[in-house]
């Protein structure tokens, strides 16, 4: 993790939206960085404030797909401590499309998540609450650090912030059941089932360090019994200093990644 590069994972995305499956691309970017414990943001100069610095594994995940004439873009960010077994201090998610945009943020403080939702829908508006539960999307980072860190059995989880935006369910904790299985060929799978809201996610990963994410499947069983299934399958992975490669000369690298 500490080689001065980020791990760029590109996935084939088959996103179910509005009753149809849409082809697109998803990208997971994993990188370690110094995080401020007090401000819960990336530290610009960690050497100046070592007591406030916390090493985190950051996941930035994007999804891009079309719904008819207009595009969808989602982004998720998760910050998880590398050396401390404590909840991820911060998660954010955004969904943008031609109708408008929405944004969610979870900040872990005083033993609970301070949750904020900003939406262009009148029925949702701007909402703030406190949630005493773990966050589902933290599981991606926990798997990368060590799959044994993922709790098993029945627990309370905050469902995926992206799913919450797509389904328009309330931003709150739900009862979830977590299980793990061996798929063979050094691959494992962690499954999360929410019986009340009809959501299931199965995350596939390599069972050896650095426990790379190979893909995941999301299933949403609606109240009318209809299902929407989204599959995300990895097609490429490279280590890049992408933040230094912002000139036009580097654009061919996108083709190498399959983007």
- Cβ proximity of 14 and 27 under 8 Å: no
Q: What is the phi-psi region of residue 139: left when phi exceeds 0, alpha when psi lies from -120 to 50, beta otherwise?
A: alpha
What does each of the 259 residues of the chain score in pLDDT, given as a tens digit?
A: 778 899 999 999 999 999 999 999 999 999 999 999 999 999 888 888 888 999 999 999 999 999 999 999 999 999 999 999 999 999 999 999 999 999 999 999 999 999 999 998 888 879 999 999 999 999 999 999 999 999 999 999 999 999 999 999 999 999 999 999 999 999 999 999 999 999 999 999 999 999 999 999 999 999 999 999 999 999 999 999 999 999 999 999 999 999 9
């Amino acid at each position: 993790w500490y080689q001065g590069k980020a791990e760029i994972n590109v996935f084939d995305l088959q996103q179910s939206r509005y009753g149809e499956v849409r082809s697109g691309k998803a990208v997971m970017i994993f990188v370690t960085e110094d995080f401020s414990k007090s401000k819960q943001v990336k530290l610009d100069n960690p050497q100046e404030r070592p007591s406030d610095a916390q090493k985190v594994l950051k996941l930035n995940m994007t999804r891009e797909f079309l719904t008819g004439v207009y595009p969808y873009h989602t982004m998720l960010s998760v910050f998880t401590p590398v050396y401390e077994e404590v909840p991820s201090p911060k998660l954010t998610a955004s969904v943008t499309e031609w109708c408008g945009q929405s944004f969610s943020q979870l900040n872990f403080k005083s033993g609970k998540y301070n949750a904020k939702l900003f939406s262009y829908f009148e029925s949702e508006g701007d909402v703030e609450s406190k949630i005493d539960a773990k966050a589902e999307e933290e599981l991606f980072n926990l798997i990368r650090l060590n799959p044994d860190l993922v709790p098993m059995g029945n627990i309370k989880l905050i469902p995926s912030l992206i799913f919450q935006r797509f389904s328009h369910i309330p931003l709150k904790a739900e009862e979830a059941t977590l299980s793990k299985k061996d798929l063979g060929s050094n691959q494992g799978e962690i499954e999360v089932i929410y019986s009340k809201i009809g959501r299931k996610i199965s995350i596939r990963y390599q069972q050896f360090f650095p426990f790379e994410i190979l893909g995941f499947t999301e299933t949403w069983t609606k109240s009318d019994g209809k299902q929407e299934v989204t599959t995300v399958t990895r097609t490429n992975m490279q280590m890049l200093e992408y933040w230094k490669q912002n000139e036009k000369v580097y654009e061919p690298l996108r083709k190498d990644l399959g983007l």
